[in-house]
Homo-oligomer: A and B are copies of this chain.
Amino acid sequence: MTYDIQRVYQHGTLALLIPGLFTGTMTVAELLTHGNFGIGTAHGLAGELVLLEGHAYTVNGDGQVSELTPDTLVPFATVHWQDSNLSPEVVQQLTKADLERRILAQAPLKNLFFAIKITGKFKVMHTRAVQAQTEPYPNLTTATRVQPEFEQTNVKGTLIGYYAPALYQGAAVAGYHVHFLNESHDFGGHILDYTIASAQLIVQPFTTFEQHFPSDNQAFLASDFDLNQINTDIEEAEH
């Protein structure tokens, strides 16, 4: 286990989810050797994955939060070692759009991968969660056509996620991709929008993007990815 705070690690690609390769290909235990914070999805799209302080939680399509056992498999996840020496910035009364613009305006980070972590109180938090799929898996667009949405006001918790440069659209989700889990561990998911009341923001830039492939998975190896369709499908499924 190397604790490299300048490295973001990704297992699988966003692109492989598009044709429906939802089979888990790495255990949570192994994933946690590459980072203690992160996001992703679970085997069969069984929820939105949120990794906090070395624990992996999912928020499923019913809005229920569970902690995953170490042997649970995931098809796609991004993780990093949170740098405990970074000083948080206090942020108040900001929407998602405002905060995301402000980060890129403050520092020249647009061509790097970076993590964002926001801990505190949110005036509004609006999420959704994917519904678990069964085999034979549909493609991602079909699987995510109906997605339950959830909203809470005045909620305390942690937002975790990443920014990826535009060049990596398809490997990752270009731009911001963030998940949430509340303090009492009974609300969260893939974030659609939020307004911060008062919180602490940490931005952690990376010099290295480590892309790991599910090289033992025959369906992945044999798949023909339609690259022209990827942008459209990511826009539809992930935003």
Interface positions of A (Cβ within 8 A of B): 13, 15, 108-112, 166-171, 205-213, 215, 218, 220-223, 225, 227, 230
A167 touching B208 in the complex, CB below 8 Å, given contacts A108-B222, A213-B112, A221-B111: no
Could you say how many copies of this chain the assembly holds?
2
The 20 sampled A-B contact pairs (Cβ below 8 Å) are: A108-B218, A108-B222, A110-B221, A111-B220, A111-B221, A111-B225, A112-B215, A112-B221, A166-B225, A166-B227, A167-B230, A168-B171, A171-B171, A205-B215, A208-B211, A208-B213, A209-B210, A209-B211, A209-B213, A211-B211
A15-B167, A171-B168, A205-B215 given; A111·B210 CB < 8 A: no
Q: Are A212 and B208 in contact (CB under 8 A)?
A: yes
Interface centre among A110, A111, A209, A227 (most CB of B within 10 A): A111
Contact, CB under 8 Å: B207 / A208: no
**Closest residue of B by beta carbon distance from A217:** B111
Could you tell me the distance between the alpha carbons of A168 and B209 in the complex, rounded to whole angstroms? 13
